[in-house]
Amino acid sequence: MTAVEGPGIEIGSIRKWLILVSVTLATTLYSTTVLVVSVILPQMQGSMSATQDQISWVVTFNILATAVVTPMTGWLEAKFGRRRVMIVGLALFTLSTLACGLANGLLPLVLFRIAQGATGAPLIPLGQAIVLDSFSRHQHRLATSVFGMGVVIGPILGPTLGGYLAEIYNWRWAFFMLAPIGALAFVMLIVMIPEKARRPGVRLDWTGFLSLSLSLVCLQLMLDRGERHDWFNSAEIVIEACLAVIFLHIFIVHSLTAKHPFLNPRLLLNWNYSLGLILVLIYGMLNFTPIILMPPMLQKLMGYPDSIIGTLLAARGAGATIGFFLAMWVGKLDPRIGMGLGFVGQAISGLYMASFDVNVTVVDVAANSFIQGICVGMIWVPLTVATFARVRSEDLAECSAVYHLLRNLGSSIFISLSVTTVIRTANVNYAELSERITPFNEVLAYSGLLGAWNVESVRGLAAVSGEIERQALMIGYINAFGLYTLASLGVLLLVILVRGRPPTSVPS
């Protein structure tokens, strides 16, 4: 059996599996760096003698660079070819990752993180396009399952392995560990990836590119700095929100009127693809949020060390692996079944998290992470296969870029919303609980039964205040998990609208 990569180019059955392995390795390498910094940020802050606001730019600028370059993937492929973009992108990404570990100051580190995000951004969309093109339609479920493991499990492996290495050595090793893998993936891409015919005369639509990029930059800055600056009570956040809307308006109007727009709006006439973009936006909202919320909750409220937290996150990776294998079987059915089961499982895990308290056990957290991992794997395969079922080969790179852009955008939006929910509702509940701490509260009259909690000494009041803060913060996390549950249930209405089993061939 053969698979076609381009006109007149056939890929042997063995080689296409080697292509899948090499592309998956490259995308896993990139996705590993997405969240690895979240674990080592405190160490980096101390090493660089930076303030919390300064060190946050290490994350912010990487996200901004990724957001700007991801939509360019279709143009890059048309202009330079898939093979060249993948190989050069991975080489520069690996070098910039190594440079991050060698950085001796905050400014070089931020610059290398920008380079890391910009050069790695095309890897996942192009990798997905290569995989879908290399395999025949009836093998897309299996190929997407293997490829999806790299996209989804990478962000779980990053914090887990990076946290261990940072604890044993220092934060630099979280970057150093990726260099040998990058070198191996680079060699495999050179040997395995075939070239696809380029489209001559392709020009970059600068108006569309700049307006979309500026809109994304303003939106990401607003989401990243909103809570720190009290959202719309800050002039900076208001300006960023207004600029994001203005530039988005310019982009939409220009795309609808331009002869050769930066992103082709006609692709949205494909029903499954348009609906898939909305679904992957919500999928992105649900995918990374627990990974961001759980570590600080376990660390601040339960006192878990980083190594234990990393192990608990690894349970999610184990569940995701099983979920991807289950998706191969469930994928034989209507794609709505797999997506529906996955999102229902996400809702169950959300209710499970909403039942947590400050005495939650390791077993509860690990079991919940495992369930979430299974659901993530089960959703990804039918969602991707259904979304791209009617997309033409020449449009795969552009469609895949928008697909992954919205997945990342969904993560940014919902993480910001969830963190805001935790902080705001925790403050409200702290104020309400504090009102009950008065000399007239009969419970506090029995100081002998309360131990360190009493209102008769400064130390006792401090202990009471600390426990109130702990409980209020836990309520904040529960509210965020409730929001997660509602999003998981709400998306089921959209899953029903997905068209059933995709056709065996794509209309030209």
Contact by Cβ (8 Å): 59, 41: yes
Residue 459 has pLDDT above 80, yes or no: no
Torsion angle of alpha carbons 63, 402, 30, 90, nearest 10°?
A: -110
Residue 117 identity: G
Lowest mean pLDDT among 76-90, 114-128, 372-386, 493-507: 493-507
Containing 17, the helix (H) or strand (E) segment is helix 13-48
Distances (CA, A) of 477 to 163, 357, 480: 23, 9, 5
Mean local confidence (pLDDT), 372-393: 86
Cα(383)–Cα(153) distance, integer angstroms: 17
**Tokens standing for residue 326:** 């289950």
For residues 104 and 423, what is the distance between their CA atoms, to the nearest angstrom? 34
- Can 1-204 and 263-508 be said to share one CATH topology? yes
Q: Which residues contact 372 (CB under 8 A, 6 or more apart)?
A: 290, 316, 319, 345, 346, 349
Instruction: Using alpha carbons, list the distances in angstroms from residue 110 to 64, 103, 200, 371, 405.
Output: 12, 9, 36, 36, 22
Q: How far apart are CA 105 and CA 213, in angstroms?
A: 28
501: pLDDT strictly greater than 70: no
Report the pLDDT value the prediction gives residue 3, as an integer from 0 to 100: 41
The stretch 287-292 carries a mean pLDDT of 81
pLDDT of residue 435: 79
232 CB-contact burial (10 Å; exposed 0-12 / middle 13-18 / buried 19+):
exposed
Distances, alpha carbon 64 to alpha carbons 69, 114, 376, 429, in Å: 9, 8, 25, 34
pLDDT at 288: 79
Cα(128)–Cα(151) distance, integer angstroms: 10
Evaluate the CA torsion angle 273, 275, 281, 284 in order and state its sign. negative
* Pairwise CA distance, residues 290 & 313, whole Å: 10
Q: Is the distance from CB of 376 to CB of 246 less than 8 angstroms?
A: no
Average pLDDT over residues 85-110: 91
Higher pLDDT, 158 or 420: 420
**CATH code for the part of the protein at 1-204:** 1.20.1250.20
> What is the pLDDT at residue 480?
92
Query: Could you say which DSSP state residue 70 is in?
Result: G
User: What pLDDT, on the 0 to 100 scale, is given for residue 485?
Assistant: 93
What span, in angstroms and rounded, lies between the C-alpha atoms of 31 and 25? Answer: 10
- Evaluate if residue 506 carries a pLDDT over 60: no
**Domain residue limits, the chain:** 1-204, 205-261, 263-508
Section 480-484 average pLDDT: 92
Query: Do residues 327 and 378 make contact, with C-beta atoms less than 8 angstroms apart?
Result: yes
Q: Which two tokens stand for residue 189?
A: 């891409």
Q: Where are the alpha helices (DSSP H) in 73-172?
A: 73-80, 82-102, 106-120, 123-134, 140-168
For residue 505, pLDDT beyond 60 = no
Tell me what the pLDDT averaged over the chain comes to.
82
Backbone angles phi, psi at 17, to 5 degrees: -70, -35
Distance between CA atoms of 221 and 424, rounded to whole angstroms? 20
pLDDT at 99: 93
What pLDDT is stored for residue 8 in this prediction? Answer: 36
106 phi and psi, to 5 degrees?
A: -65, -45
User: Please, what sign has the CA dihedral across residues 491, 315, 151, 15?
Assistant: negative
Confidence of residue 6 (pLDDT cuts 50, 70, 90): very low
Q: How confident is the model at residue 25 (pLDDT cuts 50, 70, 90)?
A: confident
Query: Strand pairing partners for 9?
Result: 6
Amino acid making up residue 139 = Q
Out of 1.20.1250.20, 3.90.230.10, 1.10.101.10, 3.40.50.620, the CATH code matching 263-508 is 1.20.1250.20
Please spell the DSSP secondary structure of 477-497, one letter per residue: HHHHHHHHHHHHHHTHHHHTT
Q: Kindly state the DSSP code that residue 160 receives in the 8-state scheme.
A: H
Q: What pLDDT is stored for residue 12 in this prediction?
A: 59
Position 484 pLDDT exceeds 90: yes
Q: What pLDDT is recorded for position 453?
A: 65
**What is the band of 5 on the pLDDT scale with cuts at 50, 70, 90?**
very low
Tokens, residue 257: 């009127």
Position 508 scores a pLDDT of 31
Pick 107 or 437 by higher pLDDT. 107
Alpha carbon of 304 to those of 37, 43, 169: distances in Å?
19, 17, 19
pLDDT number for residue 79 = 82
The residue count of the chain comes to: 508
Between CA 374 and CA 346 the distance in angstroms is 9
Angstrom CA distances, 185 to 91, 115, 145, 149, stand at: 9, 19, 19, 16
Q: Of the ranges 84-88, 311-315, 440-444, which is most confident?
A: 84-88
Q: What is the pLDDT of residues 248-277, one digit of tens each?
A: 999 899 888 888 787 888 888 888 889 999
User: Residue 249 has what pLDDT?
Assistant: 93
What is the rounded end-to-end Cα distance, in angstroms, of the chain? 23
Extract the tokens encoding 359.
């005495």
Q: Span 338-357, mean pLDDT?
A: 91
Name the more confident of 100 and 502.
100
Question: Residue 452: pLDDT above 70?
Answer: no
Q: What is the mean pLDDT of residues 142-168?
A: 76
pLDDT of residue 148: 77
Residue 7: pLDDT band with limits 50, 70, 90: very low
At residue 4, the pLDDT reads 41
pLDDT, average across residues 452-480: 80
